[in-house]
Amino acid sequence: MPDETLDLHADVVTLTAQLVDIASVSLEEKAIADAVEAALSPLPHLTVTRRGHTVVARTDLGRAERVVIAGHLDTVPLNDNLPHRREQTPDGELLHGLGTCDMKGGDAVILKLAAELAEPNRDVTYILYEAEEIEAEHNGLRKLSLSDPDLLAADFAILMEPSNAAVEAGCQGTLRLEVRTRGERAHSARSWRGSNAIHAAGEVLARLAAYEARRPVIDGLEYHEGLNAVFVSGGVAGNVVPDECVVTVNHRFAPDRTEAEAAAFVREFFAGYDVVVTDSAPGALPGLGVPAAAAFVEAVGGQVAPKFGWTDVARFSALGIPAVNFGPGDPMYAHKQDEFVPAADIVRCEQQLRSWLGAPATPYDEERP
């Protein structure tokens, strides 16, 4: 049984390892939320609130500006990649394991800042929330926006999704749809007496294969849309011509399109077919012209890239709060069995956020176990 306590005096990489070893697949975050709450509640400079498996810790110093720094506690399902493993390479230390990249390295940074910055130069709301990796109805930020919207109020928000320890602005929207083809059942020995719905889905797949991605430039950042089949389902029995086939498609759309515009596009793209939109979430415009966002970007080096995946930045954007992604790890390794995060990324994010919040850097020795 792994230790399910957190040592906030440990360095940020060791703290990441502790978080990783507390399994927290979506909807199973109780143990990690308990550990986070237990670690933060004794700190006198924070007001800690828990809703479900979401923990919110706030300073209340009367500063002129309030910022949110947020990260999700859940992971995708295990894939023989727990507990964590540390590796020394010629390029530096790597931390392997489920959630190292997405996004317990970022969560560790949040916890270290929350524990050690008693008097930041801005008031800070730290949010560690549940159920980001699954359907939106379970999302801890969504639930918080309904139950306690005042806890999300801020001038600016940073979501610590993996971004190679650099700023990624905005995010693309995501839409999931089902394209259904219909036929007529028949015995496969007399297939000409029926109509094969799976065969009819070939044209759906052909349209997808011929799709050319739109690549709009917004605030100087080029986004790259996507339209991909992610599931194909159909069939009745091994000797029956199927009368129905469903192709599930995921559309990632740039933030200059609304959800309604994206839905209209896919319906036009699959004209002639039965199309049902089953899930949708809006994108978020970069918003880099907002003073708080511009000041943060400048403080961490001035380089900005577009965010291609969907993140909860969109939830803050919908609330009128400018937000960016800024977290350790390469998002290309999120959800992979060999998921890892460079220790240097975690340290860099912690140090840059410390500096931005008016606190001195702390040393980190890569040779420690």
> Catalytic amino acids?
74, 132
Contacts of 7 (CB under 8 A, 6+ apart): 14, 15, 18
Closest of 135, 157, 136, 137 to residue 56, by C-alpha: 157
Q: Which residues pair with 50 in a beta bridge?
A: 55
Q: Which amino acid is at 82?
A: L
Give the other-Cβ count within 10 Å of 76's Cβ. 16
Q: Which of 67, 51, 137, 141 is nearest to 321 (CA)?
A: 67
Sign of CA dihedral 240, 243, 244, 245: positive
Q: 173-182 and 244-253 as β-strands: parallel, antiparallel, unpaired?
A: antiparallel
